[in-house]
Structure 1
Amino acid sequence: MTASDLISFARGAPSLDIIDVAGLKAATDAALTQDPGGALGYGTAIGYPPLRKLLAERHGVAEDQVLVTNGSMQADAFLFDQLVVSGSPVVVERPTYDRTLLGLRERGADVRPVALDLDGIDTEELAALLDGGLRPTFAHIIPNFQNPAGYTLSLAKRKRLLELAEQYDFVVFEDDPYAQIRFAGEPLPTMLELDEGRGRVVYASSFSKTVAPGVRVGYIVGPKELVARVRARATNTYISPNMFAQAVVYQFCVDGGLDRSIAKVNAALAERVATLCAALAEQLPEAKFTAPEGGYFMWVELPEGVDVARLLPAAEERGVTFVKGTDFLLEGGASTMRLAYSGVRADQIAEGVGRLAEALRSLRVAAG
């Protein structure tokens, strides 16, 4: 079996067929026509100024509260460098993004996972920990269509989390790259909006999920003093981020390309989720899952006793892959997996689930 035959539920990226290639070509031409100097020259660490201004307007903040970076992972890294105090507690969701765990542990954080429910982090479990003496520096939260679970933090929990942050004096790091990838349900206000300028929230997002992963354009919004410190770190790291990519993204936004792209991606992913749910129900009926209302990911629990560390190589032998749930946890999760449906065409999904089912059957046969 060749690499081209592999059906991958592993990568959290849109497949090429739902990326607006023509729109990005037009945006590139517009960027080079209207502002060749800005697009092709060195800038400063604040990012491409027109894009920074646009983002400030969209979030209702001053421009000096925004910094545009080379993707949101770099924004996360800069923020972790400023916020993590080695040996001090940091709250994360359980499970959470594997790169978040890696970045925090590399910086010496005392990572404290709190259970993730269908409506987001268990705020009452967090409240009990805080009442018992936990004093985190910050809580890292992926509020919309969480990676890896696909769950969304409810409005009531968003408000409760902000109350706890105020009461116990910690920051909420709102890591929100999936907010606009919604194909069911109603949008919710960000915690940045709900905070109403009190400075309890640092917000990060990205255009990788709404435009294309290769543009590598992300940004942060936060208190001016914190953003200034991040800007100094960015200046010392690269002087200027990728101004060309940021200029293209800006033109894509102002010309309506972003809205068209989001509509196209959302329609495609709604179809893929429906197809994936149907395929799992038919071919892996023992699997437990909740259909997400947006985003790229679905969390799947297999029966107790299934070891995904053994299932993964068996699946890859049959031409399908996924990410083990254990990658997103400090402990536990041996029978869980994350399925990313964003990069798999709808006509591949049933075949991919069929291969997963065959791999699972092979483990059971081998076990006798």
Structure 2
Amino acid sequence: MSSPDVISLARGAPSLDIVPVDELREAADRAFRSHPEHCFSYGPAAGHPLLVEWIAKRHGVEQDQVMATNGSMQADAFFFQEFVGAGDLVVVEAPTYDRTLLMLRELGAELLAIPLEADGLDVEALARALQAGARPRFVHVIPNFQNPAGCTLSLEKRRQLLELARRYDFLIFEDDPYVDVRFEGESLPRIFDLDGRRENVVYVSSFTKTVCPGVRVGYLLGPPEIVARLRRRATNTYISPCVASQGIVAEFCRGGGFERSLERVRTALRERRDAICEAVAEHLPEARFVKPEGGYFLWIDLPDGDVRELEARARERGVVVVKGTDFFIEGGEQSLRLAYSAVAPAQLREGVARLASARRELVGTAQP
């Protein structure tokens, strides 16, 4: 739907007004002038050398533990393809990102969904499953401002999850594109950093949520032997990543643009988060939600009704939302994901008001 009257609360991406367009243009000029050999030729499977160097320094790892990719989903796909075969057990959060479910299902994985709580994955439920004999290839978690639920995995649970990984010999796949988009509360250490031995965690993040969606640059950190396998897979898949985009991001970060961009994104998204939470409290007081401390999404649970019908009626009023069923193997019939990242506060309030109007109509027609 392209009408200007349509308010989309569906897409998890920053709006153009908070993208540092001028700084990115300048970074592109520097990258193309200063390092044409890196930007205009095939590049190494590891990614643009200057970007790999910057990422390694930022995370305190060696460069053989780094791989820059065409977005974090490319890193996800390489890892899943390398480590998942038909019938392999993979633990996912319930709910979780719909594309994760799609990729794992297409590979024939057996999925064990562990519920989320207000402070992230129910680690005790996972422990019970492991004690009962579950042996996953890996556990997939989105620890910060989870997509779609918006919750954050507590420090205690991060440590407990790492201990389970060591005891039962599985990998943790830490899918963390929102970590830097925190606008309140205390930052928590990455599970990757808590794993001092760097043996049990593969870490993935992205510049899409902090710099610009269009650059399509993400990266992966992990044990050197795992990274080497994924680099070979990358070479066999696309010969070279998009080193031109990676060169732009490298110059942007090396010139201090990354930290400046974070402040801009955090300020805008805090205002938008507050607007949508206030609007839901006003117009949908029956909805339950956890107020996110960062990220792009608000997850709401409604007491009754089927959101599949609500989603359709909201669309008729020019509001696009994502129904909760998209993020579950089973369930989510009374939940919605509302993305506030791409919508100004006034539109967020109007969108929620329209959504509430659609729900009142739906509930009214369901009354005997």
TM-score by length of 2: 0.98
Conservation of the 8 A alpha-carbon contact between 2:6 and 2:320? yes
Instruction: Give deviations 1:193-252, integer Å, cap 9, x for gaps.
Output: 000134100001100000011100011111111111111110011111111100000011
Instruction: Give deviations 1:315-354, integer Å, cap 9, x for gaps.
Output: 0110101110000001111010000000111121111011
1 CA distance for matches of 2:110 and 2:128? 18
2 CA distance for matches of 1:132 and 1:71? 37
Instruction: Give deviations 1:74-122, integer Å, cap 9, x for gaps.
Output: 0000000112132121111110000001111111111000010111101
Conservation of the 8 A alpha-carbon contact between 2:173 and 2:201? yes
Matched residue type, 2:329: L
2 CA distance for matches of 1:93 and 1:249? 31
Change (3 A) 1:259 1:198: closer
Tell me what 2:45 maps to: 45
2 CA distance for matches of 1:198 and 1:246? 25
Tell me what 2:24 maps to: 24
Conservation of the 8 A alpha-carbon contact between 2:95 and 2:116? yes
Conservation of the 8 A alpha-carbon contact between 2:198 and 2:222? no
Matched residue type, 1:69: T
Report how far residue 367 of structure 1 moved.
2.3
Q: Secondary structure at the match of 2:140?
A: strand
Change (3 A) 1:85 1:2: closer
Conservation of the 8 A alpha-carbon contact between 2:302 and 2:335? yes
Tell me what 1:88 maps to: 88
1 CA distance for matches of 2:120 and 2:212? 27
Matched residue type, 2:192: L
Q: Secondary structure at the match of 1:99?
A: helix
Report how far residue 57 of structure 1 moved.
1.3
Q: Secondary structure at the match of 2:294?
A: coil
Conservation of the 8 A alpha-carbon contact between 1:123 and 1:157? yes
Tell me what 1:223 maps to: 223
1 CA distance for matches of 2:20 and 2:149? 27
Asked if residue 66 in structure 1 is aligned to residue 92 in structure 2, the reply is no
Q: Secondary structure at the match of 2:354?
A: helix
2 CA distance for matches of 1:260 and 1:71? 21
Q: Secondary structure at the match of 1:219?
A: strand
Conservation of the 8 A alpha-carbon contact between 1:208 and 1:216? yes
Matched residue type, 2:34: Q
Conservation of the 8 A alpha-carbon contact between 2:92 and 2:111? yes
2 CA distance for matches of 1:57 and 1:327? 37
RMSD: 1.0
Instruction: Give deviations 1:123-142, integer Å, cap 9, x for gaps.
Output: 10000111111111100010
Conservation of the 8 A alpha-carbon contact between 1:177 and 1:204? yes
Report how far residue 2 of structure 1 moved.
5.5
Report how far residue 301 of structure 1 moved.
0.5
Matched residue type, 1:281: A
Identity %: 57
Matched residue type, 1:75: A
Tell me what 1:137 maps to: 137
Report how far residue 365 of structure 1 moved.
2.9
Conservation of the 8 A alpha-carbon contact between 1:69 and 1:241? yes
Instruction: Give deviations 1:254-279, integer Å, cap 9, x for gaps.
Output: 11111111100100110111111111
1 CA distance for matches of 2:2 and 2:93? 37
Q: Secondary structure at the match of 1:64?
A: helix
Asked if residue 253 in structure 1 is aligned to residue 263 in structure 2, the reply is no
Tell me what 1:98 maps to: 98
1 CA distance for matches of 2:72 and 2:178? 11
TM-score by length of 1: 0.98
Tell me what 1:293 maps to: 293
2 CA distance for matches of 1:200 and 1:19? 35
Matched residue type, 1:86: A
2 CA distance for matches of 1:134 and 1:120? 20
Tell me what 1:342 maps to: 341
Instruction: Give deviations 1:143-201, integer Å, cap 9, x for gaps.
Output: 00000001000110000000000001100000000000000101111011000134100
1 CA distance for matches of 2:3 and 2:227? 43
The count of corresponding residues between Structure 1 and Structure 2 is 367
Q: Secondary structure at the match of 1:4?
A: coil
Tell me what 1:244 maps to: 244
1 CA distance for matches of 2:146 and 2:83? 22
1 CA distance for matches of 2:248 and 2:195? 31
Report how far residue 364 of structure 1 moved.
2.1
Tell me what 1:36 maps to: 36
Tell me what 1:7 maps to: 7
Any unmatched runs of 5+ in structure 2?
A: none
Report how far residue 3 of structure 1 moved.
2.1
Tell me what 1:315 maps to: 314
Conservation of the 8 A alpha-carbon contact between 1:85 and 1:137? no
Conservation of the 8 A alpha-carbon contact between 2:69 and 2:75? yes
1 CA distance for matches of 2:21 and 2:161? 40
Aligned 1:154-193 pairs, distance under 5 A: 154-193=154-193
Any unmatched runs of 5+ in structure 1?
A: none
Tell me what 1:328 maps to: 327
2 CA distance for matches of 1:182 and 1:197? 27
2 CA distance for matches of 1:329 and 1:131? 24
Q: Secondary structure at the match of 2:116?
A: strand
1 CA distance for matches of 2:84 and 2:3? 40
Change (3 A) 1:53 1:170: same
Q: Secondary structure at the match of 1:112?
A: strand
